[in-house]
Every structure is written in structure tokens, then in C-alpha cells.
Amino acid sequence: MSSSTSTTCGSPSEASDPLDPPQISMAPNNRSNGRNVHIYDANDPTTVLGGLILSNGVTNANFYSMVEILILFASDFFLRDEGDTKIERDDHPLQPGKYYIVAAGGFLYDLITLS
């Protein structure tokens, strides 16, 4: 009787040349793909400052906290939606859409420009 051996995949040394550098994949230039919540400065409503892919459980209060992590404000601020309705800092579920930051004192610093 003869036996035959078959392999479905080779050993790691057969799969690639150890002298070849590893392939590094970079994040895409446009990281906004898939986002359904977008953040804008109310004074510059055409420039997106950031956003997120909304998941279950994110509340308006959570969203305010996220904005405060990204941007330091010179004074109090609030968020409004596309319909110019003020978004309360509450436990209502955040809805997909465009949100505008309204800050009388402006922004002191935003971490977005560092990336």
C-alpha cells in the first residue's frame, strides 16, 4: 500500500520569504466612512470637526462628554441639531445626524488638529 500526504497550507517559511519586510496597512485617509453622527462648529458649518458611528446606548449626555474630550472651551457650550433645536444634556438616545457646537467664548483648543 502506498500512502500519499497532502498539505493544504505550507509552513510559515514556505508562505513568505523571511527577508521580505512585513506588510503594514495604514488607516484610510478618510476615516469618516460609516459615520452617522457628524460634529461641526456652528460658526463654520461646512467643516466637519469629527463624528462617530452611533451604537446602541449612546445618550445625549454621553455625546456632550465626548465633545468635551475633543475640544476645550473658553465658556459654556451647547449642541444643536440640523433643525436648530438645542440638544439637552440628558439620557435620551442620541440620534444620527449633524450636530453643531454653539460656544459664545469659542474654542480654546481642539485635539482634532493634532491628528
The percentage of residues in the chain with a pLDDT greater than 90, rounded to a whole number, is: 51
Q: Which residue has the cell 506588510?
A: 23
At residue 108 the predicted structure's pLDDT band, cuts being 50, 70 and 90, is confident
Domains and CATH numbers, the chain: 28-114 (3.10.20)
Per-residue pLDDT, averaged over 27-53, amounts to 86
Separation between Cα atoms, residue 84 and residue 99, nearest integer Å? 9
**pLDDT the model gives residue 10:** 45
pLDDT at 20 over 80: no
Q: Read out DSSP for 30-88?
A: -TTTT--EEEEETTEEEEEEEEE---TT-BHHHHHHHHHHHEEESS-EEEEETTSPEEP
The percentage of residues in the chain with a pLDDT greater than 70, rounded to a whole number, is: 66
At residue 100 the predicted structure's pLDDT band, cuts being 50, 70 and 90, is very high
| Eight-state DSSP code of residue 92 | S
* Alpha-carbon distances, residue 35 vs 11, 30, 64, 69, 93 (angstroms): 40, 11, 17, 18, 16
Residue 42 near residue 106 (C-beta atoms within 8 A): no
**pLDDT the model gives residue 64:** 97
pTM across the whole model: 0.69
